[in-house]
Amino acid sequence: MLTQELAQFLYEFQYDDIPREAASRAKMHIFDTIGVMLAGSCQPVGGKIKAYVRALGGRPVSTVFGAGFKTSQPLAALANGTMAHALDFDDDSDTIFSHPSCTLVPPILALGEPEASGKDILTAFILGHEFSARLANAPGLLPKHYEQGWHPTSTLGIMGATASAAKLLKLNIKQIRHAIGIAASEASGIQANFGFMAKPFHAGSAASKAVVAAMLAKSGFKSNPEILESESGFLDIFGADLTGDMSRITSGLGKNWDLLWPGINIKRYPCCAYTHAAIDMLLEIMEAKDIHSKNIKSIHCTISPRAGRVLSNEMPEQGLGAKFYLPYCLAVASMHGEVSIQHFETLDYENPEIERLLACIQINKDPELNSDGLGLGACLSISTFDNKTFSKERVKPVGSGKNPLDWEQLRFKFRSCINGIINEKQVFAIASAVNLMEHLNSIDELLDLISS
């Protein structure tokens, strides 16, 4: 039975069974998520979710980032999960077609405060991600589930987050199965809300409901203990083929780790992942050929049809929508030599140079760019006023699991996220604490550094 086998894996696996490289990768994703969560706390959606949670009250046991107060564990996970995904700057997974850490880190920290050790946190993160990745390998589930309009960050994210929560709460095998069943009934999130505040709320809702599912299961609350493999169960209802090779889900369990290969991608830019390869190439060409925006006559970019379905074809009026508008992302990159959080806080459509660049950018689609099953690649060419053309092609952006950022690049991103929120001394202290997380007796040691 699938649910039983995965629950037993979650129950039995311990920190000492985890490859050291997986623990090292987990630290990077936790550090990155703390940064984007703090940045998200300063966004309009962050302000609204903090105000909502504060108004509800709640027993003050878990920290709400960037807020100066504590609340109940489910509400802290709701707020922090929403803020972690607020900027679309959080990491993403090719395996799950999702943003995994924004649904994993918030419930882990909410439940881990104040008693969990650093090893507990790392174990919960690694097992939670692996659980979601395993479900994503169900025959026929992806990419169909994504292409039907579901948002796997929440639909699959809640399942991994529940696995993490169950591990932290030390649920037994029966309780884990019930927690998974409860979470399955709460799984939702639709792509029609991309570009709106409801999209980051998907992550917060999944994080919060995962906490509730695990807490209810620990109290004796019951659900279908075979929810994953049942007819009209989780995998069936979301599009998996239950007559297919279901052994794909558990093959190599405990030996092959998705966190190590293909890994989770850490974003360099605070916009949709389908824009990143094009931005990378644009900036690389401009730097290598010493091109300034005023020299650019035209930009031609070809993306995959899958990217085209996610990205916007019309000029959005709000910053959240502009993260999905490739011409704006390319225009900003051309003019400023970077794409930063600030570029989506106040849209620069009225800037004459941005306006000129937007008019000279052409986007096309090529089905061949879907051939890897992901569609994250792009082809880009820049033509200059002196009649020169420079072109590049890329399958995956920088920061992908196959081309990861290093700690120096990650700290640079973290600083850009927390500019004005915490100082450089705190950045160093937080990075050091995360780097040495397995030695922390209590996660409070890290949270105190962030709160201070």
Architecture of domain 273-394: 2-Layer Sandwich (3.30)
Question: In sequence order, what are the beta bridge partners of 379?
Answer: 302, 393
| Phi, psi for residue 30 in degrees, rounded to 5 | -65, -45
The residues, ordered by sequence, that sit 6+ positions from 70 with a Cβ below 8 Å of its Cβ are: 60, 61, 62, 63, 64, 76
CATH, domain range 2-267+404-451? 1.10.4100.10
Q: How far apart are CA 51 and CA 71, in angstroms?
A: 12
- Give residue limits of the domains in the chain: 2-267+404-451, 273-394
Q: How far apart are CA 224 and CA 228, in angstroms?
A: 9
> Counting beta carbons within 10 angstroms of the beta carbon of residue 423, is it exposed (0 to 12), middle (13 to 18) or buried (19 or more)?
exposed
Tens of pLDDT along the chain (452 residues) come to 999 999 999 999 999 999 999 999 999 999 999 999 999 999 999 999 999 999 999 999 999 999 999 999 999 999 999 999 999 999 999 999 999 999 999 999 999 998 899 999 999 999 999 999 999 999 999 999 999 999 999 999 999 999 999 999 999 999 999 999 999 999 999 999 998 999 999 999 999 999 999 999 999 999 999 999 999 999 999 999 999 999 999 999 999 999 999 999 999 999 999 999 999 999 999 999 999 999 999 999 999 999 999 999 889 988 989 999 999 999 999 999 999 999 999 898 999 999 999 999 999 999 999 888 889 999 999 999 999 999 999 999 999 887 889 999 999 999 999 887 788 888 999 999 999 999 999 999 999 998 86
* DSSP track, 151-195: -HHHHTHHHHHHHHHHHHTT--HHHHHHHHHHHHHH---BGGGTT
Return the pLDDT at 373. 80
Tens of pLDDT, residues 280-331: 999 999 999 999 999 999 999 999 999 999 999 889 988 989 999 999 999 9
Dihedral over Cα of 327, 332, 337, 338: its sign: negative
The residues, ordered by sequence, that sit 6+ positions from 246 with a Cβ below 8 Å of its Cβ are: 2, 138, 139, 229
* pTM score of the predicted model: 0.95
CA-based max dimension of the chain: 73
Return the pLDDT at 167. 98
